[in-house]
Amino acid sequence: NAGVMQNPRHLVRRRGQEARLRCSPMKGHSHVYWYRQLPEEGLKFMVYLQKENIIDESGMPKERFSAEFPKEGPSILRIQQVVRGDSAAYFCASSPASGQPSYNEQFFGPGTRLTVL
Amino acid sequence: GQQLNQSPQSMFIQEGEDVSMNCTSSSIFNTWLWYKQEPGEGPVLLIALYKAGELTSNGRLTAQFGITRKDSFLNISASIPSDVGIYFCAGQPVKAAGNKLTFGGGTRVLVKP
């Protein structure tokens, strides 16, 4: 299965703990995007990364949130000192490099559902 | 930021019916994408549209990129029970940096009791 993989699927944290969400893009894709979805709402863009580069983080909260996409390994979305308002579904998507067919099409993983107690 | 207004917010379908939903924006979009999301899963790409006026089909689904580049619609013909789910439009605004998608609020498709 060459789809976008995310883990864990469910994550429970207490207030003040750290949450780490992982995403492996589809094979052959070099662009990764993170989105957040609250219940009954659409997805909201957070950050767009290429290998070792953050391209657009205009949707990321200024504090406690960070993302990386290292040369080797999955992309990581890190939330420090979680609060109840961070509870949401976090989705990762990937797309091919620019210039390739379907460059503008983003394919989503199954998501990580974060619950902050 | 850009907003996509998607309507209706929810609809009931009866097997065999044709249904339609649409998305509008005050901004011009380069790309329109339609996704379906089922409970506990991520959105699945149904149709991608790249040119104003483009009409594209995927099985019983048909979507169009509006001429003004500010709207798109999705039709489902001869609906079946497995069409139930939430359908999202998403677009890439002309002035957006990078490839970020702006999502509509979704249309929840339910089966008539």
Mean pLDDT by 10 residues, chain B (113 residues): 85 93 92 94 95 95 95 96 95 77 94 81
Closest alpha carbon to B89 in B20, B16, B17: B20
3-state SS class at B83: helix
pLDDT of B111 reads: 85
Confidence at residue A101, expressed as pLDDT on a 0 to 100 scale: 63
Beta strands in chain B (DSSP E): 4-7, 10-13, 19-25, 29-37, 44-49, 55-58, 61-65, 71-76, 85-93, 102-103, 107-111
- Kind of pairing, strands B107-111 and B10-13? parallel
A52, A69 contact by CB (below 8 A): yes
Contact present, B100 and B92 (Cβ < 8 Å): yes
d(CA A44, CA A37): 6
Structure tokens at B44: 């699945």
Can you give the pLDDT at residue B72?
97
Among A7-11, A30-34, B77-81, B90-94, the range scoring the smallest mean pLDDT is B90-94
* Separation in Å, CA B68 to CA A20, A94, B44, B103: 42, 28, 26, 18
* Lookup: tokens for A44: 């909201």
Question: Do A103 and A95 touch, CB atoms closer than 8 A?
Answer: yes
Q: How many helices (H) and strands (E) does chain A have?
A: 0, 11
| Predicted pLDDT at B98 | 65
Instruction: Tokens for B100, please give them.
Output: 């970020």
Closest chain A residue by Cα to residue B87:
A42
- Interface residues on A facing B, Cβ-Cβ cutoff 8 A: 4, 6, 31, 33, 35, 41-45, 48, 55-56, 58-59, 91, 93, 95, 102-111
- Which residues in chain A have Cβ-Cβ distances shorter than 8 Å to B101? 33, 35, 43, 45, 93, 106
Of residues B98, B100, B106, nearest to A42 (C-beta): B106
- What would the mean pLDDT of A42-59 be, rounded to a whole number? 93
A85 secondary structure, DSSP code: G
Average pLDDT over chain A, rounded to an integer: 93
Please state, in angstroms and rounded to a whole number, the distance separating the CA atoms of residues A54 and A75.
11
Alpha helices in B1-113 (DSSP H): none
* pLDDT tens string A86-112: 999 999 999 987 766 677 899 999 999
**DSSP letter (8 states) at residue A101:** T
**Cα–Cα distance between B53 and B66 in angstroms, integer?**
5
Instruction: Give the dihedral sign, CA B23/B25/B31/B33.
Output: negative
